[in-house]
Chain A
């Protein structure tokens, strides 16, 4: 149990366009989901915390108007990168915490975004 999926696994988009990444908890309900960004040979950096039915909480330095997060249900959160630029190219990873869980996050396989 506790499987998290992400879609797509890879996406290439042109500079100036927007791209949406989905994160789904497949076999549990997640009141909280997290979005991370990982640069090559660097650690995962938390971008935002997403709570079902409320606005996401963004970490310092993360542009909320650029990285739109929607947590519309207990099993789905989406990250939309708006007006993407090459510097937004990265590996985006989501995680989900069970509604009854205690500090354990279940991670998706990640989405590789390349902006050309």
Chain B
């Protein structure tokens, strides 16, 4: 069975500083990878996904994540954060051909003005 580890439960970052949210997964077969964001009092929204092709994927609001198969990682990065990025971020994985998602425990990103 697959699993997802998000080592950092909380990450405080100063506004306009860079951030990296870590995600590692374990699976014996190929996977699809996702980052979801949950803003306060809202449902989860897909931030970005890796299905195939380029290992670097980007979102419209400046986040990017790189699939690293050898390190089984899919870390999320942003070069300069904004107050509006304050949210909970969930990494998730699904197996090829299987739409079920397995989630990590989430990382709460807090932006300090």
Contact surface of A with B, Cβ cutoff 8 Å? 4, 6, 32, 34, 41-46, 49, 93, 95, 97, 102-110
Q: Which 3 A-B pairs have the closest CB atoms?
A: A107-B44, A107-B43, A43-B103
| Pairs A–B under 8 Å by Cβ, sample size 12 | A4-B43, A43-B4, A43-B105, A44-B101, A46-B101, A49-B100, A97-B99, A103-B32, A104-B46, A107-B36, A107-B45, A110-B43
Instruction: State the main secondary structure of chain A at its contact with B.
Output: strand
* Total number of residue pairs linking A and B with CB closer than 8 Å: 50
Q: Tell me, in angstroms, the Cα distance from A41 to B103 when the chains sit together.
A: 12
Q: Is B99 within 8 A of A43, CB to CB? A: no
Q: Is A41 within 8 A of B9, CB to CB? A: yes
Whether, in the assembled complex, B78 has its beta carbon less than 8 Å from a beta carbon of chain A, the answer is: no
Q: Which residues of B contact A49 (CB under 8 A)?
A: 99-100
Q: Is B44 within 8 A of A103, CB to CB? A: no
* Chain B: interface size category: 20 to 34
Q: A43-B4, A103-B49, A103-B94 are in contact. Are A109 and B43 (CB under 8 A)?
A: yes
Within 8 A of A (CB), among B24-71: 32, 36, 41-46, 49, 51
CB distance from B38 to the nearest CB of A (A): 8
Q: Is A43 within 8 A of B106, CB to CB? A: yes
CB distance from B46 to the nearest CB of A (A): 6
Interface contacts beyond A44-B44, A107-B44: sample of 18 additional A-B pairs, CB < 8 Å, sorted by A:
A4-B43, A41-B105, A42-B105, A43-B103, A43-B106, A44-B101, A45-B103, A49-B100, A93-B43, A93-B44, A103-B32, A103-B94, A105-B99, A106-B43, A107-B36, A107-B43, A108-B43, A109-B42
CB distance from A23 to the nearest CB of B (A): 11
Q: Which residues of B contact A41 (CB under 8 A)?
A: 9, 105
Whether, in the assembled complex, B74 has its beta carbon less than 8 Å from a beta carbon of chain A, the answer is: no
Q: Which residues of B contact A104 (CB under 8 A)?
A: 46, 49
Minimum CB distance partner of A57 in chain B: B100
Q: Which residues of A contact B105 (CB under 8 A)?
A: 41-43
